[in-house]
Amino acid sequence: MKNALAIMALVLVVAACNLTNKLKTNSNSNSSSSSSSSGNPSKIGNEPVEKPAPTSAQLAAIANGEDVKWDQQGISWTLPAGWKKQDVSTNSFSYGGNGAFLIVTISPMGPDFPTDLSLNAYHESAKVREKNGEVDELKWLELDGARGVEFRESKPQMADDFRRLQWMTYRKFGGQTQLVNVMLSTSGGKFDSRSDEMYGVLFSTKLVH
């Protein structure tokens, strides 16, 4: 699973880089960042930036949980009771419980990496997937002051296949420009019954940036 996730993260980075040149021609109208956007903090381009509005069920799903901090990266979450550590290192973090998982990866970039254009590229890529029926939720979402792309994969044909809720942003941390990639997943057949947990965890994200 670790190798597959690493390959997935690499593919996403490459795809974003390939779209960067295309997006440069529209940078004046679409340029955005995780901290500011054309003087309007509530929009990126013409699209709204949402903030977490957890439901009572989502809050209840993590109410008796544990606050877990990723010390190497200064990021923390509140995880549901019973979730256990699987792997934590400098650039990867994973916890899970009863078939649901939180998997986070950090990808360091060069100091001049075009984060604004890349984040827009991820959003455009998700739009294509949405049009193709692979994604059923897509939005700009601000978590703890960092604005990123949030999308949810559509229900898979096979109930045992994974379905993911994902949020991606860029930040400056520890002298690095970083892509922060947060994924919550479980099998397609269990996703609806576990979605309150996963959204609760996502909305609890706290990060230094």
Q: How confident is the model at residue 34 (pLDDT cuts 50, 70, 90)?
A: very low
pTM equals 0.83
Look up residue 47 and give its two tokens.
Answer: 């699209």
∠ at Cα 23 (18, 27), nearest 5°? 145
Indicate the range of 37-41, 131-135, 200-204 predicted with least confidence.
Answer: 37-41
50 falls within a domain: yes
Domain count, the chain: 1
Segments forming the whole domain that contains residue 155: 2-33+44-207
Ramachandran sector of residue 175 (left: φ over 0; alpha: ψ -120 to 50; beta: rest): left
Condensed to tens digits (0 to 9), the pLDDT of residues 58-100 reads 999 999 999 999 999 999 999 999 999 999 999 999 999 999 9
Average pLDDT value over all residues in the chain: 86
38 falls within a domain: no
Condensed to tens digits (0 to 9), the pLDDT of residues 175-186 reads 999 999 999 999
DSSP 87-132: EE-SSEEEEEETTEEEEEEEEEE-TT--HHHHHHHHHHHHHHHHHT
Q: How far apart are CA 72 and CA 60, in angstroms?
A: 29
